C-alpha cells in the first residue's frame, strides 16, 4: 500500500530538496526523451485518467477515422465553408470528410485541419462557434490556402506534446503530461530501476528527474502572445524548467501595441501570462523583505511555491510520501508569486469552472481578507465588502453589491470578461474597467455595463469624487487623532486605508465609519466632499401635459406661482374697471407680470453658472511659472496658465455670465491639490466632466466621441484656458492626436 501511494504521489513532489533553488531549477530543460502519457499512466493512473477529459488533453483530436469529436453543424454556413481545394477544379463547402484533426475541445470554438499533403496541414478558413452555435469566418489572409493558415508554423506547438519544429512531428495529440512536466525518459528509467523500496537518495533522484514546480512559465509557454528568436509565434526551444524569456519575446503593452487595449488589458486570446506579468499577483515574494513586519507567514498569501511546499510537507506528515521532505520555503528563498497553479488545477476534471480549485469568491477572499491576522489590519477587502466589523464599536454594513442577488463580486470587476478575438476572455490583469475605457470594454466589463442609468461622465465624476472624499477625510481624521483617541478610531481608519479602494468596495460603510470617526474627533466634513448619487435624489421636477418634465421647476413654487398669476391678473383688471384705486390695480398687474416672468425663467433657465468669482490671483502665484507635473503614467502636464489669453477667451471679461476664475471650474479642492489621476486620459475625462456641468448641450456630442474610442477631451479641441467660439476653431486637415504612455506593469 505504501508503495502504491508513493508512486501516485511522485508527480506532486518535484519540490523535494531543490525547491529553494531559483524558480528555474536545473530540472527539465531542453534535453531528454519523451515517453508519452501511456507510460505515465503506469504509476499515475488516476491523474492521467482525470486529465484525459480536460480541455488541455483535447486540444488536438484525430478525426481521420472517428468524426465524433467534430461538434459543428454542416447543414448551415455553406458560404463561409466554401473554399478552393488544391487539385480540385471548382470551389465547394468543406465537410466533415475533409477534416483530419479538430483543433480545440470546444469551450469557445473549434477549428479544423485539412491535410494538404501527407503530414502537412492547413487550418480551414471557417470555425464553429460553440458559444453561438454557428459558423464564423476564420480569416487570416486574403485567400486560402496561404502560409497564414499553416498549422505547423502557427498553431502546432500549443496543441501537441513533444512538437519538433525541425521534423514537423509530434509525440502526442493535445497537451499531455510531458508538455508541462518535461521529457520523462530519465524519470521513468530511475523509477523502474528503483521500484522496490527506494532509499531517500534514490527518491530524490527520481523526483528531481521530472519538473514539477508551480511555475507560471509552464502555463505561459502557450497562454501568451509573443515571438521566438527564430520567428515562430511560440517558444520553439522551451522546456519546462527553462527561462521562458531567454529565447522568446513577449508582446507587452506599448504605445504602438496591437495586442493590447490602451487600458492595459489583452485584446487577443491566450494572453493570460502576458496580463499576469503586469499584475500584482506576479510580484516576487522577495519584495516582502522591504517591509519591516514581513515574516514567513506572509508567504501564505504572497508565494505560490510556499503554498505548494506546504501541501507537499503535509503529505509527508500524513505518511503519504516517503523519503526526505523538501526544505521549507522562506522569505529568503521564495521565488514565485501568486501563480496560475495557485488558483487553477490543470489535472482535474471540471469540478469548478475553468479548473479553479474553489469557487471564485472564496478563492479571492482566502487572501484578500484580514482573517487569521492578529495585531494589525492588512488588506481587509472581504471585511469591507461583506460589512464585517473588526471592532464591536464599529457597525458593519454590507455592500449592496454583496447583498444583491446575483450581484457582482471580485471577479466581476477585477477579471471582467473582455473582447478578445471573436469571443470574450476573463482578464488576468486584475484592473477594473474605469470610465474612459474603449466603448467595447465599457459595455462588457465597465461600471456602466450594470449601472446603465448613469452616463460614462457621471460615473467618472462619482468614482473620482468618492475616492477624493475618502482620501481627504481619512487624512484629516488621522491628523486629528491623539493618544486619547479610542482604539476603534484607528481600526476604522486602518480598515478604510487597508481596503485600498478609496471607498468603492463599500460606499455606505466607508461613509458611516468616517462619519462616526469625525463625530468622535469633533471634525466636520470637508468642503467639497463627494456624495453618493443615491444620497442626493433629484428634485421632483414638474411634469406638465404635452410639455413634459420642466427641469428647474419644482412642484411647490409652481403651484404657488400658477395660482398667484390668475389671482393677481383678475384683481388688477377688476380694480381698474371699477375706476377706483387704479394705482392698486396697476400694482396687481405688475405683480402678475412678475409672476409670469418668473414662470418663464423656470421654463427657460439661463445658461452658465449663477455667479462667477473671476478670482485667480492666488492660483497664479504658482501657475504663472513655466512648470510641469508628471503623472503616474509618465506623461507630463504644463502648469503654466497664460492670463492674457484666458482674459481674451469666451470665459474672460466679455463672458455673458461674468468672468470665470480658476476656482469656478476647478473648485477649491481641484487637481492637482488632491491625488491626481494616473493617466492623461483620466485627467482629460475629469476636466471634460467639468465643462459638461455648464455646456449640457454638448454632453451628447462628448459621449458620442467617447463611444468612438477617441481619446480626447473638450480641451483638446477648444483649449483649456483660451477657449474660443466654435466658429473660430481650426478646420484644416486632421491633426495627430497626442499619444498616451501606457500604464507601467505592476510587479512585472
Asked which of 531, 553, 583 is the last residue of a domain, the reply is: 531
660 within domain boundaries: yes
Query: Could you tell me if 69 and 133 lie in one domain?
Result: yes
Query: How confident is the model over 486-511, as pLDDT tens digits?
Result: 999 999 999 999 999 999 999 999 99
Q: What would the pLDDT profile of 108-121 be if each residue is shown by its tens digit?
A: 999 999 999 999 99
Q: What is the mean pLDDT of residues 316-339?
A: 89
Q: What percentage of the chain has pLDDT greater than the value 70?
A: 77
pLDDT over 80 (residue 447): yes
287 in any annotated domain: no
Based on the fold, state whether residues 506 and 546 are members of the same structural domain.
no
Whether 463 and 379 map to the same domain: the answer is yes
Residue 652 has pLDDT above 80, yes or no: no
Q: What is the mean pLDDT of residues 33-56?
A: 91
**Does 8 or 282 have the greater pLDDT score?**
282
183-187, 280-284, 372-376: lowest mean pLDDT where? 372-376
Same domain, 518 and 549: no
Per-residue pLDDT for 672 more than 70? no
- Residue 475 above 90 pLDDT? yes
CA pair distance 428, 279, nearest whole angstrom: 8
Q: Which has more pLDDT, 87 or 586?
A: 87
Three-state secondary-structure class, residue 181: helix
Higher pLDDT, 529 or 313: 313
User: Is residue 10, in this structure, part of any structural domain at all?
Assistant: yes
Number of domains comprising the chain? 4
Which of 570, 603, 636 is where one domain is finished? 603
DSSP state of 13: -
Among 19-23, 312-316, 415-419, 605-609, the least confident range: 19-23
Q: What is the mean pLDDT of residues 290-304?
A: 88
In a domain, 708, yes or no: yes
Can you say whether the dihedral through the CA atoms of 31, 37, 38, 44 is positive or negative?
A: positive
Task: Give the number of other Cβ atoms within 10 Å of residue 360's Cβ.
Answer: 18
What digits encode the pLDDT tens for the residues 674-722? 566 777 667 776 777 777 777 766 666 666 666 555 556 777 777 777 7
pLDDT of residue 610: 33
pLDDT of residue 703: 66
| Residue 286: pLDDT over 70 | yes
Same domain, 701 and 666: yes
Q: Are residues 6 and 108 in the same domain?
A: yes
Residue 570 lies in a domain: yes
Residues 501 and 558 in one domain: no
Examine the domain organization and report whether 164 and 30 are in the same domain: yes
What range does the domain containing 640 cover?
A: 620-728
Does 300 or 611 have the greater pLDDT score?
300
pLDDT over 90 at 746, yes or no: no
So what's the pLDDT on residue 612? 45
Percent above pLDDT 90 for the chain? 49
> DSSP 3-state assignment of 530?
coil
Q: Does residue 542 carry a pLDDT above 70?
A: no
β-strand partners of 554: 541
Strand-pair partners of 113: 101, 123
In a domain, 355, yes or no: no
Q: What is the pTM of this model?
A: 0.69
pLDDT the model gives residue 549: 57
The predicted-structure confidence for 361-382, as pLDDT tens digits, reads as follows 999 999 999 988 888 899 999 9
Query: How would you class 475 by CB atoms within 10 Å of its CB: exposed for 0-12, middle for 13-18, buried for 19 or more?
Result: middle
Q: What are phi and psi of 47, to 5 degrees?
A: -65, -45
- Summarize the chain as % helix, strand, coil (round to 5): 40, 10, 50
| Count of CB atoms situated within 10 Å of the CB of 140 | 14
pLDDT for 75-88, tens place per residue? Answer: 999 999 999 999 99
The domain boundary residue, chosen from 496, 511, 531 = 531
Instruction: Give the model's confidence band at 480: pLDDT under 50 very low, under 70 low, under 90 confident, else very high.
Output: very high
Give domain status of residue 348, yes or no.
no
pLDDT at 16: 34
End-to-end C-alpha distance for the chain, whole angstroms: 45
SS3 for 578-591, per residue? HCCCHHHHHHHHHH
What does the mean pLDDT of the chain come to?
81
Same domain, 199 and 95: yes
Question: Is the same domain home to 556 and 453?
Answer: no
Amino acid at each position: 500500500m505504501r508503495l502504491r501511494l508513493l508512486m501516485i504521489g511522485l508527480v506532486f513532489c518535484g519540490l523535494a530538496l531543490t525547491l529553494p533553488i531559483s524558480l528555474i531549477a536545473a530540472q527539465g530543460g531542453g534535453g531528454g526523451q519523451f515517453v508519452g502519457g501511456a507510460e505515465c499512466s503506469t504509476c499515475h493512473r488516476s491523474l492521467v485518467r482525470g486529465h484525459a477529459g480536460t480541455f488541455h488533453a483535447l486540444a488536438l483530436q484525430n478525426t481521420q477515422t472517428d468524426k465524433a469529436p467534430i461538434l459543428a453543424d454542416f447543414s448551415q454556413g455553406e458560404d463561409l465553408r466554401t473554399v478552393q481545394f488544391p487539385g480540385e477544379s471548382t470551389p465547394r463547402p468543406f465537410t466533415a470528410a475533409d477534416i483530419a484533426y479538430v483543433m480545440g475541445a470546444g469551450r469557445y470554438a473549434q477549428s479544423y485541419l485539412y491535410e494538404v499533403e501527407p503530414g502537412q496541414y492547413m487550418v480551414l478558413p471557417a470555425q464553429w462557434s460553440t458559444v453561438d452555435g454557428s459558423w464564423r469566418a476564420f480569416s487570416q489572409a486574403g485567400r486560402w490556402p496561404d502560409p497564414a493558415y499553416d498549422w505547423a508554423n502557427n498553431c502546432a506547438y500549443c496543441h501537441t506534446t513533444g512538437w519538433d519544429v525541425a521534423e514537423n512531428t509530434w509525440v502526442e495529440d493535445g497537451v499531455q503530461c510531458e508538455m508541462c512536466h518535461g521529457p520523462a525518459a530519465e524519470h521513468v528509467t530511475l523509477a523502474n530501476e528503483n521500484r522496490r523500496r527506494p532509499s531517500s537518495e534514490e527518491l530524490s533522484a527520481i523526483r528531481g528527474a521530472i519538473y514539477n514546480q508551480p511555475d507560471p512559465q509552464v502555463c505561459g509557454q502557450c497562454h501568451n502572445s509573443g515571438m521566438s528568436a527564430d520567428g515562430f509565434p511560440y517558444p520553439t526551444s522551451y522546456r519546462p524548467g527553462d527561462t521562458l524569456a531567454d529565447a522568446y519575446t513577449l508582446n507587452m503593452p506599448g504605445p504602438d501595441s496591437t495586442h493590447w487595449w490602451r487600458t492595459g488589458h489583452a485584446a487577443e486570446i491566450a494572453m493570460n501570462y502576458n496580463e499576469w506579468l503586469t499584475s500584482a499577483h506576479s510580484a516576487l515574494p522577495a519584495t516582502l523583505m522591504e517591509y519591516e513586519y514581513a515574516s514567513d507567514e506572509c508567504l501564505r498569501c504572497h508565494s505560490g511555491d510556499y503554498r505548494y511546499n506546504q501541501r507537499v510537507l503535509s503529505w509527508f506528515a500524513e505518511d503519504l510520501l516517503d523519503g526526505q521532505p523538501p526544505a521549507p520555503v522562506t522569505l529568503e528563498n521564495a521565488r514565485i508569486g501568486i501563480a496560475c497553479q495557485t488558483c487553477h488545477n490543470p489535472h482535474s476534471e471540471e469540478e469548478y469552472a475553468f479548473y479553479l480549485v474553489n469557487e471564485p469568491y472564496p478563492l479571492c477572499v482566502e487572501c484578500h481578507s484580514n482573517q487569521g491576522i492578529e495585531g494589525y489590519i492588512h488588506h481587509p477587502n472581504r471585511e469591507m465588502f461583506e460589512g464585517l466589523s473588526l471592532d464591536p464599536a464599529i457597525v458593519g454594513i454590507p455592500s449592496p453589491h454583496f447583498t444583491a442577488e446575483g450581484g457582482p463580486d471580485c471577479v466581476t470587476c477585477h477579471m471582467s470578461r473582455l473582447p478578445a478575438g471573436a469571443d470574450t476572455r476573463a482578464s488576468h490583469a486584475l484592473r477594473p474597467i474605469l470610465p474612459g475605457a474603449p466603448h467595447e470594454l465599457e459595455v462588457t466589463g465597465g461600471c456602466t455595463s450594470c449601472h446603465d442609468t448613469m452616463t460614462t461622465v457621471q460615473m467618472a465624476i462619482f468614482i473620482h469624487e468618492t475616492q477624493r472624499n475618502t482620501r481627504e477625510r481619512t487624512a484629516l481624521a488621522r491628523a486629528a487623532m491623539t493618544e486619547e483617541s479610542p482604539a476603534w478610531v484607528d481600526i476604522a481608519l486602518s480598515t478604510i486605508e487597508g481596503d485600498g479602494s478609496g471607498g468603492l468596495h463599500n460606499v455606505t460603510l466607508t461613509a458611516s465609519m468616517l462619519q462616526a470617526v469625525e463625530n468622535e474627533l469633533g471634525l466636520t466634513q470637508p468642503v467639497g466632499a463627494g456624495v453618493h448619487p443615491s444620497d442626493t435624489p433629484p428634485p421632483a421636477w414638474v411634469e406638465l401635459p404635452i410639455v413634459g418634465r420642466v427641469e428647474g421647476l419644482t412642484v411647490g413654487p409652481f403651484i404657488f406661482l400658477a395660482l398667484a398669476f390668475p389671482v393677481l391678473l383678475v384683481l388688477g383688471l377688476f380694480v381698474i374697471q371699477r375706476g377706483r384705486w387704479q394705482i392698486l390695480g396697476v400694482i396687481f398687474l405688475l405683480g402678475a407680470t412678475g409672476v409670469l416672468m418668473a414662470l418663464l425663467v423656470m421654463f427657460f433657465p439661463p445658461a452658465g453658472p449663477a455667479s462667477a468669482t473671476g478670482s485667480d490671483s492666488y492660483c497664479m502665484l504658482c501657475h504663472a511659472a513655466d512648470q510641469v507635473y508628471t503623472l503616474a503614467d509618465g506623461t507630463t502636464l504644463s502648469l503654466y496658465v497664460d492670463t492674457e489669453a484666458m482674459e481674451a477667451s469666451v470665459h474672460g471679461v466679455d463672458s455673458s455670465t461674468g468672468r470665470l476664475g480658476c476656482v469656478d471650474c476647478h473648485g477649491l479642492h481641484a487637481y492637482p491639490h488632491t491625488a491626481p489621476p494616473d493617466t492623461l486620459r483620466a485627467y482629460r475625462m475629469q476636466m471634460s466632466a467639468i465643462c459638461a456641468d455648464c455646456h449640457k448641450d454638448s454632453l451628447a456630442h462628448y459621449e458620442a466621441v467617447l463611444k468612438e474610442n477617441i481619446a480626447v477631451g473638450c480641451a483638446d479641441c477648444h483649449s483649456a484656458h483660451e477657449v474660443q467660439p466654435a466658429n473660430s476653431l481650426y478646420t484644416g486637415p486632421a491633426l495627430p492626436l497626442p499619444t498616451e504612455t501606457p500604464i507601467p506593469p505592476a510587479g512585472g
